[in-house]
Amino acid sequence: MTTELDENTRDKSVTHNQRADVQARYHNRRSRSIALIERMLRSYLRPYIWLLGISVLLNVIIAATTGALPWFIQLAVDEVFNNKDPDMLILVPVGVVAISFIKGLATYASNVIMNFVGQRSTSNLQRDLFSRLVHGDLAYVGQKHSGAYISIFMNDATRLRATVSTMIVSLIRHLLTVVALIAFMFTINWHLAMIYTVIVIPMGIAAMRRLGRVTRSASRDGLQETGEFSTLIAETLSGLRIVKAYGQENDQIDRAGSTIDRVLEFTMRAIRARAAASPAIEALGGIAVGAIIFVGGYQSMQGNLTAGEFMGFITALLAVYQPLRSVANMQTVLQEGVAAGTRVFSILDAEDHIVDSPEAGILKVDKGAVRFDNVSFQYDGREHPALNGVSIDVQPGQTVALVGASGSGKSTLLNLTLRFFDVSDGVIEIDGQNVRHVTLDSLRRATALVTQDPFLFDDTIANNIAYGSPP
Ligand SMILES: Nc1ncnc2c1ncn2[C@@H]1O[C@H](COP(=O)(O)OP(=O)(O)OP(=O)(O)O)[C@@H](O)[C@H]1O
Ligand SMILES: [Mg+2]
């Protein structure tokens, strides 16, 4: 008996803790999503605030014309067919044609504007990302394979671009249209409108929130895996000679195969979650139409609802379906964008350690003496230091060759001189000036580097020779 009680209490405390844990994680994620959206708005969408303003105006027009259509249907049934009003016979069709034209023009203009804003803001982000990589510390940039960066540039940035464009359209156009149509429903018959808004919308939102969570995790894992796939491609291509020399072709193919399978699995998980969204809304829509026919029919039998009002209401209900679905889908699209954005911003936010010190002066090379004084250095993640208390004195005009076994630290000495990395201990001086106390720009202007791995840019030989010299 006692044991059972103990078990019970223990179980409860576990579930309670777990729930608190899940909630905390959820809130964390949520605030992170909000921070990311805020940042996107502040840094990348703000320059286009005017265009967004014009777009909002255009979309007010689109929403109003969409909201007007059910009203014309109502007039057509009540005034043209029932009351046989000859004026309305002309006015209603002319009105329908006019609003369709206006809506078409406004839709065209706003699509172009909103997509321009979406595309432009993400190209600016890509530009920043590129400049971040070029300026980034070698130690940091070297942590990821080039394939992973390419994937972030291509896949994550593209995903983010799609999200921004879709979000702007959904948020402005579809939300306004939903508001206009539901407002129209309320003006016709608030009973029916209440049934619709109370049953369908909250249920739809609840379903979408669940699906949004699944999509985000699948989308994040999928992008990660895509990055690994690009790494594998880049690696295989650059090491193709080695792969062939050791007969490892099939091994590489197997590795690629399993990565491709994992990408497929995550993609399918996201697709299933997204696909589940439509039937969910469709089913809810069916329930809504059924309920409206029942309640509307009853009211009509009581003489409280005309056929035109009923038709107008059903038209509005059918018209609201598509924009409502986009609004409900917003959460899913947003989550995909957040997954991509998190990866993009994590690169943008990496902090540099190799920077000019606040009191850095310009390196003045007079004679060209280089001195290493007790220099030690250890690469991140390495167990042993690459250099340990090295002192070298190079006189002006002297030519020095460092000879040593592979891995003994020859290239490392040059890396430290040019400050690709900073010494862990000791001092490197050029003409008596500590390289850490002069600007990076002046240091690298005063030096030239020819590395052991020949490297050519995809450009003419002349341009490769002239690389870095002023035009
Ligand atoms: N970017 C890096 N990250 C981590 N460890 C590194 C890095 N570059 C070099 N090392 C390690 O530091 C040590 C010294 O390497 P370094 O490249 O300076 O040798 P080296 O004398 O130039 O060799 P080689 O004659 O092959 O060019 C080696 O153990 C090497 O594995
Ligand atoms: Mg070397």
Whether 418 shows a pLDDT value over 90: the answer reads yes
pLDDT at 8: 43
Whether 157 shows a pLDDT value over 50: the answer reads yes
pLDDT at 143: 81
Ligand 1 and 215: CB distance under 6 A? no
Q: Tell me the mean pLDDT in the region 47-57.
A: 92
Q: What is the dihedral of CA 87, 90, 92, 97, to 10 degrees?
A: -160
Number of the ligand closest to the Cα of 410? 1
Of ligand 1's listed atoms, the one at least distance from the Cα of 142 is 1
Q: Tell me the mean pLDDT in the region 122-137.
A: 90
pLDDT at 216: 78
Ligand 1 and 409: CB distance under 6 A? yes
Q: Which of residues 27 and 65 earns the better pLDDT score?
A: 65
Ligand 1 and 406: CB distance under 6 A? yes
Ligand 1 and 412: CB distance under 6 A? yes
Of ligand 1's listed atoms, the one at least distance from the Cα of 138 is 1
Please tell me the distance between residue 373's alpha carbon and the centre of ligand 1 in angstroms. Answer: 20
Ligand 1 and 250: CB distance under 6 A? no
Q: Which of residues 460 and 210 earns the better pLDDT score?
A: 460
pLDDT at 69: 93
Whether 425 shows a pLDDT value over 60: the answer reads yes
pLDDT at 416: 95
23 band by pLDDT with thresholds 50, 70 and 90: low
Whether 146 shows a pLDDT value over 80: the answer reads yes
* Structure confidence by residue, pLDDT tens digits, 209-242: 777 778 878 888 888 888 888 888 888 888 888 8
Ligand 1 and 452: CB distance under 6 A? yes
pLDDT at 12: 45
Ligand 1 and 384: CB distance under 6 A? no
pLDDT at 440: 93
List of domains in the chain: 11-348 (1.20.1560.10), 370-465 (3.40.50.300)
pLDDT at 93: 95
Whether 6 shows a pLDDT value over 60: the answer reads no
Number of the ligand closest to the Cα of 142? 1
Please tell me the distance between residue 415's alpha carbon and the centre of ligand 1 in angstroms. Answer: 10
Mutate to test the pocket of ligand 1, among 141, 382, 402 (most ligand atoms within 8 A of CB): 382
Mutate to test the pocket of ligand 1, among 411, 421, 423, 449 (most ligand atoms within 8 A of CB): 411
Ligand 1 and 407: CB distance under 6 A? yes
Ligand 1 and 411: CB distance under 6 A? yes
10 band by pLDDT with thresholds 50, 70 and 90: very low
Lowest-pLDDT range of 2-11, 130-139, 226-235: 2-11
pLDDT at 42: 87
pLDDT at 19: 62
pLDDT at 286: 84
Number of the ligand closest to the Cα of 143? 1
Please tell me the distance between residue 452's alpha carbon and the centre of ligand 2 in angstroms. Answer: 6
The rounded percent of the chain whose pLDDT value lies above 70 is 94
Q: Measuring from atom 7 of ligand 1, which residue has the nearest CA?
A: 379
Q: Tell me the mean pLDDT in the region 376-384.
A: 92
Ligand 1 and 410: CB distance under 6 A? yes
* Structure confidence by residue, pLDDT tens digits, 381-390: 889 999 999 9
144 band by pLDDT with thresholds 50, 70 and 90: confident
3 band by pLDDT with thresholds 50, 70 and 90: very low
Mutate to test the pocket of ligand 1, among 388, 392, 410, 413 (most ligand atoms within 8 A of CB): 410
* Structure confidence by residue, pLDDT tens digits, 169-195: 888 889 999 999 999 999 999 988 998
Number of the ligand closest to the Cα of 451? 2
Whether 5 shows a pLDDT value over 50: the answer reads no
Whether 351 shows a pLDDT value over 90: the answer reads no
Q: Which of residues 244 and 202 earns the better pLDDT score?
A: 244
Whether 343 shows a pLDDT value over 50: the answer reads yes
pLDDT at 21: 67
417 band by pLDDT with thresholds 50, 70 and 90: very high
Please tell me the distance between residue 94's alpha carbon and the centre of ligand 2 in angstroms. Answer: 80
Ligand 1 and 341: CB distance under 6 A? no
* Structure confidence by residue, pLDDT tens digits, 270-281: 888 878 777 776
Of ligand 1's listed atoms, the one at least distance from the Cα of 402 is 21
pLDDT at 453: 74
Q: Tell me the mean pLDDT in the region 259-267.
A: 91
